[in-house]
A and B are shown apart, each in its own frame.
Chain A
Amino acid sequence: MTSGIVSQLFQSALAVLAAPLLIGWVNMCRAWLQNRSAPSLLQPYRALHKLFHKDAAISRNTSWIFRFNPYVQFGCMWLAAGIVPVLATDLPLAPAADVVALVGVFAVARVFAALAAMDTGTAFGGLGARREMFIGALAEPAMLIVFFNLSLIAQSTSLNTIVETLAHGNFLIRPSFAFAGVAFYMVALAENARVPVDNPTTHLELTMIHEAMILEYSARHLALIEWAVAVKLVAYSALGIALFVPWGIAEAGNTAALPLALLALAGKLFVGGAVLATLETVLAKLRLFRAPEFVATAFLLAMLGVLLNLVLQR
């Protein structure tokens, strides 16, 4: 139990504090791939620090939701990053929310982000909210089906049990597992507003999805949202790592394995960030109405995975 609490605190703190580092690493790789000289790895921290120092300006139209939203974003993403068993499988908070509730956490964040965008009363805010909700409305079920697939394998929707089963089980080649993995990666790209669904570095308002929602934010509110975006990327990466490449994770009660687990995690994130940057460089952003096809493909792959699982089971 004590080791669980240690792992829990350690992981929660690490996820939040190291999140901008992952963004910095992805940006660095992308700059290299695009033949630019890369900004420092610590650049995201400097940007956040600068934003926190500024005075916030908010629109007269807004209600409390607009000011509350950055904290909701940050809180939800922190919770999500805290309950994914990525360092150890005995996190005491993990039973409070299983995979379905985890999807619920992301949904809460999305709904508040969209409400805050509509709260500004501007044309771009509504545009962003509409797009975010409709991509999200298709991505969320796809994500759930991916999780259903894994919970059919592990016979559980609890994150700890799923990760333990997948990490322990003498690894069989399961076709459904491959389908789920591909679908998960596609949904994760869509949910994190990355290329090919959205472009986090865009400056064209008319093509924006996530960025259009936060145009009216400034200073500490913007800093919290940007930070939450980083934590969200960490949470999704952690989820992908925990579910599909869980090797090296510290098992219950084994605090001594934590440093090794941390090293394994850092290595995986290192590779994952480079892969993400490569994808963002070689792929182009899809037209908005091609994005549903992308997400629907993920949905169908996940569904095929579930059916394969049920058909091949006996």
Chain B
Amino acid sequence: MQFLPMRLLPIDIAGLAVLFWLALGLLGLLASARPAFINRMLFPLSAAGSLVLAATGIAAMDDAATVMILPLGLPDLPFHLRLDALSGFFLFLLGAAGVGVSLYSAGYFRDTAGPTLGLLCLEYHVFIASMAVVMLADDAYLFMVAWETMALSSYFLVTTEHDQPQIRHAGFLYLLIAHVGAVAILLAFGVLQGGHGDYSFAALRAAHLTPGWASAAFVLALVGFGAKAGILPVHVWLPEAHPAAPSPVSALMSGVMLKTAIYGFVRVVFDLVHQLQWQWGVVVLIVATLTTLFGVLFALMQHDLKRLLAYHSVENIGIILIGLGLALIYAGSNHPVLAALAMIAGLYHTLNHAVFKGLLFLGAGSILHATGERDLGEMGGLARSMPYTAFFFLVGALSISALPPLNGFVSEWLTFQAALLSPALANGILRSLIPFAAAALALAGALTGMCFVKVYGVAFLGAPRSAHGLHAHDAGFWEKLGMGWLAALCVALGLAPVWLVERLEYVTERMVGARLGAQALKGGWLWLAPVAAERASYSPVIFLLVIAAVVTLTFLAVRRIYHGRLRLADPWDCGFPLLDARMQDTPAGFSQPIRHIFAPVYEMERHLPAATDPDPYFSLEIRDRFWRWLYRPVAAAAEFSARQVGRLQQGRIAVYLLYSFVTLLFVLLFVR
């Protein structure tokens, strides 16, 4: 009997990485008394595990799927694991983002007390391990077990600082919506198994559903995974839970956990249901477009940095789903090649968002650590006291603003290309609907640019608005390493898109049955031409080289022909002598024009001082309308019905006996 297989399959390595993480977590709990060991040893090791997982994932994408059956689980349903191109891609995402976050964590938690840190280390590793298992699961039972483990471990991570009531409140909201979603996913699997009672994914894939039941499964999957991803209107937990969690956890939740929902959606809809109908795509596209615009418009109004980033996660989930919605429309109308392009755009953005949003949350964490502030209005001038953080944050901000030649631009460009192929569709209404999504995406991209000019300009540039900014310290070695890794990925994914697109073709081959067209990617790694070179091409490397060459040439020419003399002076400000830091633009002031033009979107409560006020003050509160439209009524209805049912509870034995008697009569009536 052979104990070790001769050659480790990718799935064996992935499984070992999961076990390794779990072991690190347990070790962390045992080593609670030695926080330095946890910080300096366990988190860097965890990063190494992530790196292995990322390499395994990307290597597994062009191989055939590998499977594994574990002797665990239910008596007649052992745990099935399977690593195919789709799982491989998402494992790569988890690993790539995980490397950065784990390295960062090694430095970030240096001031955390031992017992808290030990517990946190366990929860952290259970969290990432469960996400890996979600991506590997090949039966509904293991999927749900891992899914719930992920939800619970992240709940405990969110409530790390549970002594604060608003953090407990945020955690509760998160747990509630996560479970509403989980119920919908469970029901989706129930619909999919179609009465056979076999819950392995292979059986679900083979089951033949009527179009009606298939649509039911689609709707349940959209609601269930949408609740985790944060689509409208179940987005409300994101802006509460992300700021509550410690920053590396926010980075993981926003960067990776939301992507497990994207994974689940693709797996269930494209793979398991697979009788795709274009009407589903229309639903997804409309929801995604609204989510995108809503996310960015609310992000612009935030002044808490982490809340702002959370609303941008809502926006980016919308962008991803625009790609996937287009893929559904094209696939449902028998255009598999176009569907492949749209899906690649969506998945590319999934990875991009994981990388740059992870980076931005880590940057926010460093600011929080250095200044104790999350409020942008108290920051300013941090670029001088924290130059490294400022630089990495700038890379993230430019990436999320979809500026070439960084990564956010590539996926938005691909999404535009997919949307511009809409004339291929026979249905006139569909043809005209898609440009609206493209227009919304263009608007969202431009507004994101504005939002991150605000964030970066207010937080890092100008003069410090409070004393914190003057004495801020830059991030430590491990934190810089973590952010540097993610920033490098932003650049790499922006410069070498063909490398990833070629791999993503293996996913689309399996999911929509096609690769990109025969004329695509003919120009080699330098030219991204997703349809044909004459149709559209983009070369980030040449783009960057030309800009760099032109900038250098200009710089040298100016120095050579003229001079480089420079002197420092006080700001001029048109001759105004009494300038101080409070006269700079505020976060609320910067986005005021947007609030003005898009006023109907917001529910505002303003207090404007009158000229005669002895004690004038200005206050502005902007609320999410969905609380009034959806959540408060639902909560009120739940409380009302609970009160009605509560009337049964009288506390008098005679009444309870009466209930028993009436029930008995009722039963007898039926039995007869």
Contacts and interface: CB of A to CB of B under 8 A. Distances in A.
Interface in B426-460: 428, 431-432, 435-436, 438-439, 442-443, 445-447, 449-450, 452-454, 456-458, 460
B642 interface: no
A313 B423 contact: yes
Interface stretch (B62-70, B85-93, B527-535): B527-535
Interface stretch (B199-207, B228-236, B568-576): B568-576
For chain A, what secondary structure do more than half of its interface residues adopt (helix, strand, loop), or is it mixed? helix
A174 to B, nearest CB: 14
Interface string A81-108: 0100000000001011110110011011
A161 B590 contact: no
A52 interface: yes
B558 A104 contact: no
B273 to A, nearest CB: 30
Interface size band for B = 35 or more
A93 B537 CA distance: 11
Contact of B562 (A52, A65, A124): A52
Contacts of A82: 546
B567 A158 contact: no
Given A101-B413, A158-B536, A121 B381 contact: yes
Interface of A: 52-53, 55-61, 63, 65, 71-72, 74-76, 78-79, 82, 93, 95-98, 100-101, 104-105, 107-108, 110-111, 114-115, 117-127, 129-131, 133-134, 136-138, 140-141, 144-145, 148, 151-152, 155-158, 161, 205, 215-216, 220, 224, 289, 292, 299, 303, 306-307, 310-311, 313-314
Contact of B550 (A59, A75, A140, A145): A75
A149 to B, nearest CB: 9
Contact of A95 (B438, B460, B537): B537
Contacts of A215: 572-574
B639 interface: no
Nearest to B458: A118
A97 B457 CA distance: 28
Given A95-B537, A131-B593, A122 B435 contact: no
For chain B, what secondary structure do more than half of its interface residues adopt (helix, strand, loop), or is it mixed? helix
Contact of A57 (B420, B456, B569): B569
Max chain A Cβ within 10 angstroms of own Cβ: one of B436, B547, B589: B547
A265 B581 CA distance: 49
Given A93-B542, A122-B573, A310-B431, A156 B535 contact: yes
Interface of B: 380-381, 383-384, 390, 398, 401-404, 409, 413, 416-417, 420, 422-423, 428, 431-432, 435-436, 438-439, 442-443, 445-447, 449-450, 452-454, 456-458, 460-463, 527, 533-539, 542-543, 546-547, 550-551, 554-555, 558, 561-563, 565-574, 576, 579, 581, 583-585, 589-590, 592-594, 596-597
A121 B450 contact: no
A65 B453 CA distance: 12
A61 B463 CA distance: 6
Contact of B416 (A100, A134, A155, A314): A100
Contact of A156 (B401, B534, B550): B534
B28 to A, nearest CB: 39
B442 A111 contact: no
Contacts of A74: 550-551, 554
B403 A104 contact: yes
B568 A52 contact: no
B238 to A, nearest CB: 23
Contacts of A289: 593, 596
A59 B550 CA distance: 26
A299 B438 CA distance: 13
Contacts of B458: 118
Contacts of B546: 79, 82, 93, 96
A129 B457 contact: yes
Contacts of B561: 52
Given A59-B569, A63-B461, 4 more contacts: A101-B409, A101-B538, A125-B584, A158-B533
Given A60-B568, A151-B420, A133 B453 contact: yes
